[in-house]
Structure 1
């Protein structure tokens, strides 16, 4: 039961922060969903660091990993919103912006996880 509660709390905090960041940044960039883009890239970096630390000499406990990686990062990042916004850009015939959004999200997300794993080795 404790593990479910940790995931619930972490997910709630992550979702709240995602909403605040996305709400404030998405309104300024109409052809590019900057808020969603940034939370997904930041979330990839954070989960890379967390998993790297978790693998490194069991630096994080199982409960800490559930709270931070599964809960917080799971709530903070959002694939469904990314897919919806990509679809909206496609419907608006913004092929260039949709291509940039999708391409940069995938490539930078993978690079951010790699950077997070690298950072965790330095800590």
Structure 2
């Protein structure tokens, strides 16, 4: 059942990533992939923190959302390809800037996602079964 959940989540994550990539197009800088990866970093830490702190969710659903949907939504391989293209076109500053923004920004947005989840977990909202 876990594999089916990951496959279903992966299908939707990949489709949404493709749609966003086609909507956000930039000629100089790969803004679409950067946006996708930053959103994925934010939501991965946000959701995993919420699942641990507040929401009682089955492992199957958690895997479908995190490994499936967010795993297919984010794309390290596209980051690598786009960086390679920028560097081979002689756009060294843009290429290295893209790497720094992707990795640093991913870490930062992930921390923001976790911080927001912890803040929400401290509110009087509780849907996790304590029993």
Same-fold status (TM-score > 0.5): yes
Aligned partners of 2:61, 2:53: CA distance in 1, in Å? 14
SS of the equivalent of 1:82 reads helix
Which one of the candidate residues 88, 92, 98 is aligned to 1:91? Answer: 88
Give the TM-score normalised by structure 1: 0.92
Larger relative helix fraction = 1
| Correspondence list, 1:47-86, <5 A | 47-57=44-54, 59-86=56-83
Aligned partners of 1:65, 1:109: CA distance in 2, in Å? 21
- Structure 1: 5+ residue stretches without partners: none
Aligned partners of 1:11, 1:61: CA distance in 2, in Å? 17
Give the TM-score normalised by structure 2: 0.87
Which position in structure 2 is the counterpart of 1:33?
Answer: 30
Q: CA deviation at 1:64?
A: 2.0
Aligned partners of 1:115, 1:77: CA distance in 2, in Å? 17
Which position in structure 1 is the counterpart of 2:125?
Answer: none
Q: CA RMSD in A?
A: 1.2
Would you identify which runs of 4 or more consecutive aligned residues in structure 1 move more than 4 Å? none
Aligned partners of 1:83, 1:55: CA distance in 2, in Å? 32
Which one of the candidate residues 27, 38, 42 is aligned to 1:45? Answer: 42
SS of the equivalent of 2:24 reads helix
Which position in structure 2 is the counterpart of 1:13?
Answer: 12
Task: State the aligned residue count.
Answer: 120
Aligned partners of 2:56, 2:118: CA distance in 1, in Å? 11
- Which structure has the greater CA radius of gyration? 2
